[in-house]
Amino acid sequence: MKNTNCIICQKNEFKIVGKPRINKRFPRIEESNYTILKCKNCGYYFVSPQIDLSQEEWKDLYESDYFEASQKTQWQIDLNSKELKDRIGVISENLNIEKGNFLDMGCGEGFMLKEAEINGFKPFGLDIAHNLNPEFSEKYDFFKGSIFDAKFPDNFFSVVYMDSVLEHVTNPVETIAELKRILKPGGIMLVIVPNEDSTMNTVAKWTYFLTLNYSKYGKIKPFVTPYHIQGYNKKSLNSLFDRLDLEVIDIVGFGGNYKFWKSQTPFSKQYFVSLFTYPFGLWSVLFDKQIQLMSLLRK
Ligand SMILES: [Zn+2]
């Protein structure tokens, strides 16, 4: 592991941070093979050696259980809808060129496509699996596969939106470079990833420690949902975008102040988990350690 360089900053000093939990569906994968490392220079988290699941195996995982994880309450549905509106607002405010094609890379059910259309963009969806809401299937352009297979023309999109994708891709540098190629000069990219240095992850880490799971790590989870094969903090995101010569307009944290009494079905297991973690959420807002990071970029 000393021979490889950090794919973001090219330095080669790493801190060993723990072992990933292994998915029981893949008995061929041995826990002992994999180590989670953090780059000492830029703070990028990754798995070493690189994970070698096939496209088929990834597809199988994503189509089976990724989107079935939780039953949403009405409050969560309303919150998600408000978040999408707010994000389109931020994009529009910062877009100095004409509204045009809008790519939602990893569009899932497709609600952002609808929001983009309402706001005067021409939406395109792309995802590795087909999970589009039936309402949108016929309506919007959709490509099933990777961004590299889609082969969009140069300077095709005014906006590229990517929520919860960059932590799943094999090579974030190549992915962002490809997105930059298809983005118009002056176009806006909005990228949302989990913050691996969030208060919640620190709590998870200490929970493992106190329950004597010393080797387990509370941060990236490459083999169990939500399949994060790498992780970021503000520093590594800045490093990544800087390397690819994108203008960083802002990187902000969010997602720390969820109201537990509204966000979960009352008295469910998740409700009590949320009750327990609520004070940590407040703490994370105060100390800028919220669970998500939103990067606003311009080409
Ligand atoms: Zn690095």
Least confident of 39-48, 84-93, 211-220, 221-230: 211-220
Q: Is residue 8 part of a domain?
A: no
In the chain, the number of structural domains is 1
* 274: region left, alpha or beta (phi > 0 left; psi from -120 to 50 alpha): alpha
Distance CA 96, CA 281 (A): 35
Alpha-carbon span 46 to 167, nearest angstrom: 9
Across the range 9-27, mean pLDDT stands at: 84
Ligand 1 geometric centre to CA of 35 (Å): 16
* pLDDT recorded at residue 45: 94
Distances in Å between the alpha carbon of 202 and those of 7, 128, 194, 239? 25, 31, 13, 23
User: Considering the domain boundaries, does residue 190 fall inside one?
Assistant: yes
- Name the residue range of residue 48's domain: 14-298
Mean pLDDT, range 257-278, rounded to an integer: 76
CATH number at residue 259: 3.40.50.150
- The rounded Å distance from CA 47 to ligand 1 centre is 13
Q: Does 58 reside within a domain?
A: yes
pLDDT in tens, 194-214: 999 888 888 877 777 787 776
Q: What percent of the chain has pLDDT over 70?
A: 91
C-alpha separations of 206 from 199, 212, 282 in Å: 11, 10, 18
Report the separation in Å between the CA atom of 285 and the middle of ligand 1, taken as the mean of its atom positions: 26
- Give the confidence band of 215 by pLDDT, cuts at 50, 70, 90: low
Q: What protein residues have CB closer than 5 angstroms to ion ligand 1?
A: 6, 8-9, 39, 41-42, 44
Report the range out of 103-112, 203-212, 250-259, 266-275 with the highest average pLDDT. 103-112
Q: Is residue 9 part of a domain?
A: no
d(Cα 42, Cα 228) in Å, to the nearest integer?
Answer: 18
Q: Please tell me the pTM assigned to this model.
A: 0.89
Find the 277 Cα to ligand 1 centroid distance in Å: 31
6: in domain = no
In a domain, 78, yes or no: yes
pLDDT of residue 1: 47
Q: How far is it, in rounded angstroms, from Cα 246 to Cα 180?
A: 8
**What residues have CB less than 8 Å from 224, skipping those under 6 apart?**
20, 21, 22, 23
Share of the chain above pLDDT 90, in %: 52
In the predicted model, is pLDDT for residue 126 greater than 90?
A: yes
Beta bridge partners, 247, equal 298
| Whole-angstrom distance, CA of residue 28 vs CA of residue 50 | 15
94 part of a folded domain: yes
Residue 40 Cα to ligand 1 midpoint, Å, equals 7
Tell whether the model's pLDDT for residue 139 goes beyond 90: yes
pLDDT band at 69 (very low <50, low <70, confident <90, very high): very low
CA of 18 to the centre of ligand 1 (A): 18
Distance 251 CA to ligand 1 centre (A): 18
Residue 1 included in any domain: no
Distance 48 CA to ligand 1 centre (A): 14
pLDDT of residue 212: 72
Write the pLDDT tens digit of every residue in 96-122. 999 999 999 999 999 999 999 999 999
Other C-beta atoms closer than 10 Å to the C-beta of 191 total 27
Cα–ligand 1 centroid distance for 51 (angstroms): 18
Q: With bands split at pLDDT 50, 70 and 90, how would you rate the model's confidence at 66?
A: low
Tokens 């360089």 belong to which residue?
5
C-alpha 272 – ligand 1 centre gap (Å): 37
CA of 30 to the centre of ligand 1 (A): 26
> 3-state class of 228 per DSSP?
coil
